[in-house]
Amino acid sequence: MYLILSDTHIGDRHSNKYLPSLFSLLDEYSQRDNCHLILNGDILDLAKTLKFDERHRLFFSLVSRFHQITYIEGNHDWFVSGLRDVIPHISFKKELLLHLNNKIVRVIHGHQTDFWSYRLSKITRFLIRLNRWFYDLTNIDAQHYVRKTRLVQKFLLERQEKKLIRKENIANVLIAGHTHRPCVREEYNTLYYNTGDWVEADHRGYVVIDDQNRIELFKYEE
């Protein structure tokens, strides 16, 4: 069994109100002996804060209960290799290929087709820091509101997803995050899952691959 989630952005103030439901989900699945936890990028938002507090300690405590953990690096994952000191049995990858019966599943964060995040990462990191300083001064998160505009959703994020799917030439199933848009759809002969995020109430998504290798996207229900 696999539990796959992404974009929890622990450290981002917008995610604070949904951390109890995230921790409840992790607690539930950590009690299953055969569950492989895949953290598909942007789990700790070290781009927005380098300060660890009780949220992070509780997260580490819950995650460390899983016997197998894979961390796939996202565009907000700065300095995550230091987690090896906290969780010795965690492994870090750029992506993960799973061979499940007659299916090949690729798990990847998804920022690889985001020109700004992937090709101009230093500039993007500077802009994220600038947004953090602006937020501290004004309590307005410009990045959060810009991401939700129709222009960005339709002409940037959707295009990134389509490009990611179109470029897939190995896997039958593609599981990604990054765009914060939970969905399941089939394009270019590839079944695409996006796990959403844990920043918006109606986006709290996660993918489960069960013991029969069935793949399903869930949204957290209170």
Q: Residue ranges per domain, the chain? A: 2-219
CB 111, CB 42: distance < 8 Å:
no
Q: What is the pLDDT along the chain (222 residues), one digit of tens a residue?
A: 999 999 998 877 777 788 999 999 999 999 998 999 999 988 887 656 666 778 888 988 999 999 999 999 887 776 666 666 677 788 889 999 999 988 999 999 998 887 555 555 666 666 676 766 777 777 777 676 666 676 666 667 888 899 999 999 899 999 999 999 999 999 999 999 999 999 887 889 999 999 999 999 999 887
- Tokens (6 digits) for 148: 């939700």
Among the listed residues 85, 44, 33, 37, the one whose alpha carbon sits nearest the alpha carbon of residue 63: 37
In terms of DSSP bridges, do strands 68-72 and 173-176 run parallel, antiparallel, or are they unpaired? unpaired
pTM score, whole prediction: 0.85
Query: Which residue bears the tokens 């969905």?
Result: 183
For helices 54-63 and 19-30, the axis angle rounded to 10 degrees is 20
Q: What class, spelled out in words, does domain 2-219 have in CATH?
A: alpha beta
